[in-house]
Structure 1
Amino acid sequence: MQKFITLGEGHGDLFELEALIGHNGARIDKGIFLHTADGPSTFLLIMSPVRGNFQAIYTIHHGIAYKEGEGRKYTLIHEWCRAADLPVVEFSTRNPEDFYEREQFYQYITGVLRLNNLIPPMT
C-alpha cells in the first residue's frame, strides 16, 4: 500500500525534504520529478516498503518551478539527491489541476508509477 504524504507549503517543504534525504538515505528508493506542459512540477520521494507492504511517498505537490532544467528548487533537490547517491527519474504527466481532488491525482500517479515499474504492484 502506497501512501502519499504532502510535505508542506512554501519553504517548509524544502526543509522537510532536505532532512528526509539527509537522515533517511538508506530507506529511500528514488526521487521522481513529474513535469507538466504548463505549470509547476511535482517531486516524489519514494521510500522503500516497510512492515509488509507499506510504502511512504513524500511529495512536494505542484510546487517546483521548472523550465528546461532550470529552477532553484529543482536544482537544490537534484543536488541533495546526487549527494545522497539517489537515482532520480523525470517524466511528463497530466497537470494536477486536471483532477477535481488531489487524491484523484495521486490515484492516477500511482497507476503511472506501477505501469512503469517504479513502485511495486498492488498485493
Structure 2
Amino acid sequence: MQKFITLGEGYGDIFEIEALIEYNHARIDRALFLHTENAPSTFLLIMKPVRGNFQAVYTIFKGIHVDETGKGQKYQLLNNWCTEKEIKVIEFTTRNPDDFHEREQFYQYITGVLRLNHLLPPLT
C-alpha cells in the first residue's frame, strides 16, 4: 500500500525533503519530477517498503517552478541532493493536477502510471 504524504507549503516542504534525503537516504527508492505544461512541477520521493507492503511517497505538490531553461532553484537543489546521495531521479510529463476534481484523484492517477511503468509495486 502506497501512502502519499504531502509536505507543507512554502519553504517548509524543501527543508523537510532535505532532511529526509540527508538522514534517510538509505530508505529512499527513487525520486521523481512530474512535469506538466504551463504549471509548476510536482516532486515525489518514493521510500522503500517497510513492514510488509507499506510504502511512503513524500510529495511537494505543484511546488517546483521550472524556468524557461528547464530548471529552477528548487529543481536544482533537489536534483543536487539526490545526486550527492546517489538516488535515482526520473522525470515524467503527466496530466495537470488541475484536471482532477480532488488531489486524491491525481494521486490515484499517478499511482496507476507508476505501477504501469514498474516504479511502484503492484497491489498485493
Asked if TM exceeds 0.5, the reply is yes
User: Which amino acid is the alignment partner of residue 88 of structure 1?
Assistant: V
- Compute the displacement of 1:69 (Å): 2.6
Give 2:94's aligned residue: 93
Counterpart of 1:73 in structure 2 is 74
Structure 2 SS opposite 1:24:
helix
Question: RMSD value over aligned CA atoms?
Answer: 0.7
Match for 2:104: what amino acid?
A: E
Alignment of 1:37-116 (within 5 A): 37-67=37-67, 68-116=69-117
Equivalent position amino acid for 1:75 in 2: Q
Q: Which runs of 5+ in 2 are unaligned?
A: none
Distance 2:29 2:98 in 1: 27
| Structure 2 SS opposite 1:31 | strand
* Amino-acid identity (%): 68
Counterpart AA for 2:84: A
SS of the equivalent of 2:22 reads helix
User: Whole-Å Cα distance in 2 between the matches of residues 120 and 60 of structure 1?
Assistant: 21
Distance 1:58 1:119 in 2: 13
Local SS of the residue matching 1:69: coil
Counterpart CA distance in 2 for 1:43 and 1:8 is: 13
Distance 1:70 1:17 in 2: 18
Q: TM-score, normalised by structure 2?
A: 0.97
SS in 1 for 2:40: strand
How many pairs does the alignment contain?
123
State the match for 1:7 in structure 2: 7
Return structure 1 stretches of 4+ with deviation > 6 angstroms: none
- State the 1:21 CA deviation: 0.2
TM-score (norm 1): 0.98
